[in-house]
A and B are shown apart, each in its own frame.
Chain A
C-alpha cells in the first residue's frame, strides 16, 4: 500500500483493472439474470466503481468491511473471486454463501468482507461493532462501512456515528451519495445537501470527495485510515457519485432527469481514469486493451465455472440455522 502520489504505473493499471472488473461483472450479471440464470434481485454497482476501488486500495489484511444491497463492487474490490460470486448468484452450493444468501448477503469472511446487507443502514452498526472488537483487541485493523445517501436517514446511522465518535472507534463511514435513495432524489429525502456536514454533529471529521476519481478516493481513504489506526477515531467520507442504472436491475429510473443522467455518464469513472492513464501516466491504448481482454476472459471463465457447480440438496435447508441445534430440538 503506498500513498496515492507515489503510485507506480502497475499500481495504477491495477486500479483500472479492478474498476473494469466490477463494471463487467455487473453487466454480465445483468445479462445472466435476463437469461433467467439468476433469480431474485440485483442492485448493480455500475458507475460507482471508483469509490470501492479507491477506498479498498488503502485497506490491509486485518481490516474488515460491511456493505449494502449494492455490495458486489466492494466485495470484488476486496479481492473476492468472481467465480464464487457467480456461483452464489446461480444459487449453487459452492457459492460463497452455500446458496443461502444470494446477492444481498454475499460474504467473503477470509478477505474481511463481512457481508452485503439487505437492510438499508443495516451494515453500519455491524461495522461499528467490528471496530469495537478491533479496538478491544488493540488490533491494527480498522472497519469500513459503505452506505448510500438514503441510509443516512436511518436511525442506525445516527446511533452508530454517535457511539463510534464517543468511543473513538477505528472506523471509516463511507457514504456513496448517488443522489437517490431508491426512487427518491436526495433533495426530496433530506434537507441538507452535503451529508459530510452531519459529521460535525457527532464530533467527527467529515470529508467530501469526488466519488468518480479513484485516486482522490484513495487519498481520502489513506488520511482517514491513518486517523483511525492512530486511535483518533472515525471519519465520515461523503463520495459524490452516481449509479448508471436503476436502483435494481429492471428499474428504468424514469424518475431521473435526462440531463442529469447525461452529465454523470460523461463523468464515467473508468473512462475518466483511462484518459488520465494515457495522457498523464504514459499508458498505451494497447495496455488498456490487454487489461480489458484479460478481464473478459476471467469473467467468461468464472461464469462458466459457476454454471457447472452443483445445486444444494433440499436437506441443506435446515443446516446452519444454528451452530448447535441441540440434536435438532432447536429446529422444532
Chain B
C-alpha cells in the first residue's frame, strides 16, 4: 500500500474490523455517520456498515453517552464519540456515576463493555474549550480504563482491545496526531489487539527516564535528540495506557537510569504525571538519584493566541531546557 497509514486510518480500521466481527459493535456520536466525522475519522464507515452500526445523534452528550451505557447494559458494544474531550464534561454523570460504577454497584450483574473515544489536546488556536487534556479527570475514577495511544499501529491495536474489553474504556485520540504516520514499532502486528498495561521504550537511554504520551511524546523525542548531542542520554518511555499502567515496565527503566521526568500536555497540577511521580517517589525511592520532575502545561486555560499557546504548552525546546537544567543539577 503506497498511501501512508495514518493515526486516523488506524482508528477507522480498528472500528471497521470490530464492526465486521460483531454486529453488536456500533458507533454513536455527532456527525459520525453520514458525514464521516468532523475529523474524517469515520469516513466510509456509514456506507460500509450502515445505519444499524453508525448512529448520528443530536448535540446531546449526556444522552449520547447515557444511551451507549444503556445499550451496553443490554449486551451491545457501543463506541461513543465525544467530538472534543472538553465536551465530555456534559456527560460526566453518565461516565463517572453510571458507566464506571455499574459493574461494581450491581455486584457484577451488569457489564459495561463501552468505549468512549475522545478527541483531545491542542488544535492550534482552538482555544480554551476545544483544546484541553483531561486524562486525570478519568484516571481518578475507579472503574474506568484510560488509553492514550501515540502512534497509528498502537492506536489500532489498543482500540481493538478497547472494543473487545469488557469494561468502560476512555480512549483519547490527539487531534493533531490524526494525520501522522510515524512511530512504527516494526514489531507489532497491526492486526492484533494490544493488551493494556504494557508500556514501550521509544528511545533507549541511560541517564534519565522521560515518561511521555500522546503528542507530547513526539516533542519529547525531538528534545531527546537534542539532549543526546550534549551527551545526555534520555530514555523515552510511552505508557500507552494510563489505567492500567505498566508499573513494572517503568520501574525497570527507573532502575536503569535512576532519574524520572514526566512530560505531558495536561496542566502540571494534578495531571496524571502527579500520580506517576508520587508512585515512583514511594515505590522506586531506592533507585532514584534525584527528585522526580514533572513537565506539563502551565496552570492556566489554553489561550487563543499562538504566542500565548506556546508559552502555556510544553514544546520540544521547553522540554529540552527543563531536562537539561535538571541534568545539570542532578546529573
Contacts and interface: CB of A to CB of B under 8 A. Distances in A.
A122 B93 contact: yes
A125 B196 contact: no
Nearest to B108: A320
A330 B58 contact: no
A114 B70 CA distance: 9
A241 interface: no
B145 A330 contact: yes
A324 B196 CA distance: 10
A132 B69 CA distance: 11
Contact of A114 (B57, B104, B110, B111): B110
A100 B104 contact: yes
A230 to B, nearest CB: 20
Interface in A93-134: 95-101, 105, 107, 109, 114-115, 117-119, 122, 124-134
Residue with the greatest number of chain A CB neighbours at <10 A, chosen from B65, B72, B106? B106
A109 B245 CA distance: 32
B63 A105 contact: no
Contacts of A124: 66
Nearest to A136: B52
B52 A105 contact: no
Interface string A276-289: 00000000000000
Contacts of A320: 103-104, 107-108
Interface string B238-278: 00000111110000000000000000000000000000000
Contact of B75 (A131, A133, A327): A133
Given A101-B107, A322-B143, A130 B244 contact: no
A113 to B, nearest CB: 10
Contacts of A326: 195-197, 244
B97 A129 contact: no
Contacts of B246: 329
A130 B71 CA distance: 5
A96 B107 contact: yes
A100 B145 contact: no
A325 interface: yes
Nearest to A160: B63
A233 to B, nearest CB: 15
Contact of B73 (A97, A130, A324): A130
A163 to B, nearest CB: 5
Given A119-B98, A126-B98, A322 B145 contact: yes
Contacts of B94: 125
Interface in A38-76: 64, 66
B165 interface: yes
Interface string A299-332: 0000000000000000000011111111101111
The bracket for how many chain B residues form the interface is 35 or more
Nearest to B146: A330
B70 A130 contact: yes
Contacts of B71: 129-130, 132-133, 136
Nearest to B109: A109
B69 A129 contact: yes
Contacts of B111: 323
B66 A160 contact: yes
A317 to B, nearest CB: 10
Interface string A155-196: 110011011001000000000000000000000000000000
A64 B4 CA distance: 47
Given A332-B245, A332-B247, A115 B110 contact: yes
Contacts of B63: 125, 128, 156, 159-160, 162-163
Contact of B70 (A95, A100, A133, A322): A133
A323 B103 contact: yes
A115 B245 CA distance: 32
Contact of B62 (A117, A131, A156): A156
Interface string A133-168: 110100000010000000000011001101100100
A97 B145 contact: no
Interface string B49-80: 00010010110101101111111111110100
Contacts of A136: 26, 52, 71, 76
Interface string B157-168: 000000001110
Nearest to A126: B70
B306 interface: no
B142 interface: yes
A98 B108 contact: yes
B72 to A, nearest CB: 7
Nearest to A98: B107
Interface in B16-43: 26
Residue with the greatest number of chain B CB neighbours at <10 A, chosen from A100, A125, A321, A327? A125
B227 interface: no
8 contacts: A100-B105, A125-B70, A126-B73, A130-B74, A159-B60, A159-B63, A321-B104, A330-B196
Q: Which 5 A-B pairs have the closest CB atoms?
A: A129-B70, A125-B66, A98-B107, A159-B63, A329-B244
Interface of B: 26, 52, 55, 57-58, 60, 62-63, 65-76, 78, 93-94, 97-98, 102-111, 142-143, 145, 165-167, 195-197, 243-247
